[in-house]
Structure 1
C-alpha cells in the first residue's frame, strides 16, 4: 500500500479543485465571495490612478496600445496600456506560485471507478458532488487533502457509459513501495495488468502497467516513501523541443530530465514545479515521426494554480499558446480563471490561488 508522508508547512499554498464548465459539461465547483472595490494591479508593474478610469474612451485607447488590459471599476469598463517586455513576463512566470492541482477526465461508471481506485490503488475519496440540473457528478480522489496534493477529478455525465480515450493520452503514474505486491492486489480485485512488474526498458526502475475499468492506463513505479504518490500525467506530443520551450516559458515549468531511447524510437521529457520524487510532474513523450494524435473525449485537462490569471494569459499568448477562455471571474462565482491550449491542443486551466483557497473554506 502507498505510504503517505506529512506535507511540510513551507510548501506552496494550494488551491481547491476547479473545472471549467463548457459544452462538454465539465463542472465548476467554486463558492462565491464578495470582491473588494480596490483597483486591480496591472500586469508587470503598470498602474493607473483611479480618477483616470472614469470617462476613458476605450476605443481611442485601443488604437494607441499594442497590449491592453480590461479593468472594471464600479461597473465602468476601461482599457489601459501595458508595456511589459517578454523578459519581464518570463521573469514573472518564474516567480509565480504555481502547483499542479488536479487532473480531470470522464468515466462511465463513477461508483465502479471509485471502488477500483480506493481498493486497488489505495486512494481516498476526498469529496463527491452531484449536480442534477446539469446532469453530472464529480468525485475527487487522491492520497491527501486537495490543499496540499495533486488529485484526480472524475466526471460522470448522466447516461454516458463509455468514452474514447484516443491515442494522445498516455497514462497516469502512481508511486508505490512494492510494485509486485500492488500488482497481486490488483489482480485479486479483478484489475487488468497489461505489463507485469519488471525493470523499465533501458533503466533499473521497477514498473508495471494496469488499466482501470474505463481503460485509462496507470504506470506503477517502485519508489521509496513520497509525499506525492499520484506523481505523473503522460501526454504525447508531436514536437518535443517545441513543447519543452512552451511549458518552460509560458507555464514556468522546469525541465527536470530528458531521455532519448533510439532503440525504441521515442524520447521523453519530465517537467514540473519541483523534484519528481516529491511533486507531480508532466511527462511528455515524442514517438519518432509521429506529429499528431487523436485526443478522444475522455481525458479533459490539468488545472494549475497561479497568483494572477491575467498575467498568466499574457504569458501564454506571448509564448505560443491559445487562450480559449479569457481571464476573469466566472459569472456568479467570482473565482478568476483562464483556460488555454498548448501547441498540441492539450487543455490547461489556471485558477487564482486566493480564490481557490476561498472555495476550500
Structure 2
C-alpha cells in the first residue's frame, strides 16, 4: 500500500552517553528529536515502566523520507536482556565502514558484510556500498513459522512480498522504503526484556480498520486505538497489534505524525542536556549499587 510508510524501530537503551557516541561516531547518524517524559507512555513506547523516561530519534535524514531509530531510556534501568527476535538492521554505507576502521570498533565480517553491535547489544549489518536514497535498507526479524508470518504481514498489514526463499522473505510497502525481512529460525521467538517495536504510518482513517481486521483474524491487540500526547507537539493516534511471534507493530496516523516528526535543530543539545542532568549513575554509585537490569 503506497499510502503506508516504514517509520522507525524502537530500542531500549541503558547508557545514553555510550549509545549517543555509537550512533554519532560509528553509524554517522544525526539526532533528529529528543523529548523527556515524567511518566510512562500510554502505549508502552518505553516498555512496561511508569517512571521518568526519554525518547531520542536518530537517523540519516528526516523521518518523512528516512527510516530512523527510536531510542527509549528509562531512568534507573541500566540494561535489558536480549532475546533472539531482532536479527539486525542493514545499512548500506562506505562511510560507516570507514568509521568502524577509524575507531577500531569491534566487528564481525561475513561475506563482506560487517556486523557491529550497539553498546546495548543490538546488531547492525553494514554493507560497503553507496546507498541510493536512505542508507537504512531493511530490518530483519525472526520468525518461528515463515509462511504464517508472511500471511500475517501481507494479508493483515497490507505489505507486498518482494522476494522469498525457503527460510526468508522480504516485504515492504514501496520499492524506495526500508524493507522488512523475516527469517525462519525454526524455534520459539524470545523477546526477553529488550523487546523492540517497528512502526509504520498510514492515513489516520485506516487505523480503526487495521484494528478491526486484526481482531477479526484473532490477532493480539497490545494497545487499542489511543491518542498519545507529546508536550508542545502534535497529538498522534496509534494502534499497536502484535504479529504471530509477538513482534510489536505500531501503526500511527500519518497526518499528525508528519507534524510531530519534524526535525528539531536543538535535538543534539536537548539530548546532551538530558544526559548531563541525569544523576542516576552517581546516585547508584554512592549507594554502592548498580542500576537495575530489566
TM-score of the superposed pair, with normalisation by structure 2: 0.77
**Kept in 1: contact 2:168–2:182 (CA 8 A):** yes
Tell whether 2:52 aligns with 1:142: no
- Partner Cα separation in structure 2 for residue 274 and residue 331 of structure 1: 29
SS for the counterpart of 2:189 is coil
- Partner Cα separation in structure 1 for residue 212 and residue 181 of structure 2: 25
Q: 2:174 aligns with which of 274, 282, 285?
A: 274
* Structure 1 vs Structure 2 CA RMSD: 2.2
SS for the counterpart of 2:198 is strand
Tell whether 2:94 aligns with 1:177: yes
Paired residues in the alignment total 246
- Partner Cα separation in structure 1 for residue 192 and residue 244 of structure 2: 17
Return the offset for 1:348.
0.6
**Kept in 2: contact 1:164–1:297 (CA 8 A):** yes
Structure 1 equivalent of residue 9 of structure 2: 103
Map Cα deviations across residues 27-79 of structure 1 (whole Å, 9 max, x no partner): xxxxxxxxxxxxxxxxxxxxxxxxxxxxxxxxxxxxxxxxxxxxxxxxxxxxx
Structure 1 equivalent of residue 253 of structure 2: 352
Change in CA separation of 1:220 and 1:331 when aligned onto 2, cut-off 3 Å: closer
Map Cα deviations across residues 73-93 of structure 1 (whole Å, 9 max, x no partner): xxxxxxxxxxxxxxxxxxxxx
Structure 1 equivalent of residue 220 of structure 2: 322
How does 1:295-310 map onto structure 2 within 5 Å?
Answer: 295-307=191-203, 308-310=206-208
Structure 2 equivalent of residue 208 of structure 1: 114
Return the offset for 1:353.
1.1
Q: 1:335 aligns with which of 201, 223, 236?
A: 236
**Kept in 1: contact 2:27–2:96 (CA 8 A):** no
**Kept in 2: contact 1:306–1:312 (CA 8 A):** no
**Kept in 2: contact 1:235–1:284 (CA 8 A):** yes
Map Cα deviations across residues 271-320 of structure 1 (whole Å, 9 max, x no partner): 11122xx3211111112xx2312211113201110112101112223445
- Partner Cα separation in structure 1 for residue 16 and residue 235 of structure 2: 29
Q: Which has the larger radius of gyration?
A: 1
**Kept in 1: contact 2:8–2:198 (CA 8 A):** yes
- Partner Cα separation in structure 2 for residue 317 and residue 175 of structure 1: 37
* Runs of 5+ consecutive residues of structure 1 not aligned to the other structure: 1-93, 200-205, 261-266
SS for the counterpart of 2:98 is helix
SS for the counterpart of 1:147 is coil
- Partner Cα separation in structure 1 for residue 174 and residue 160 of structure 2: 8
SS for the counterpart of 1:161 is strand
Structure 2 equivalent of residue 192 of structure 1: 106
TM-score of the superposed pair, with normalisation by structure 1: 0.63
**Kept in 1: contact 2:92–2:129 (CA 8 A):** yes
- Partner Cα separation in structure 2 for residue 132 and residue 230 of structure 1: 31
- Partner Cα separation in structure 2 for residue 335 and residue 160 of structure 1: 27
Change in CA separation of 1:311 and 1:186 when aligned onto 2, cut-off 3 Å: farther
SS for the counterpart of 2:78 is coil
Comparing 224-233 with 240-249, greater Cα deviation is found at 224-233
Q: 2:131 aligns with which of 225, 248, 260?
A: 225
Tell whether 2:146 aligns with 1:245: no
SS for the counterpart of 1:117 is helix
* Runs of 5+ consecutive residues of structure 2 not aligned to the other structure: 40-50, 263-294
**Kept in 2: contact 1:137–1:157 (CA 8 A):** yes
Return the offset for 1:225.
2.7
SS for the counterpart of 2:100 is helix
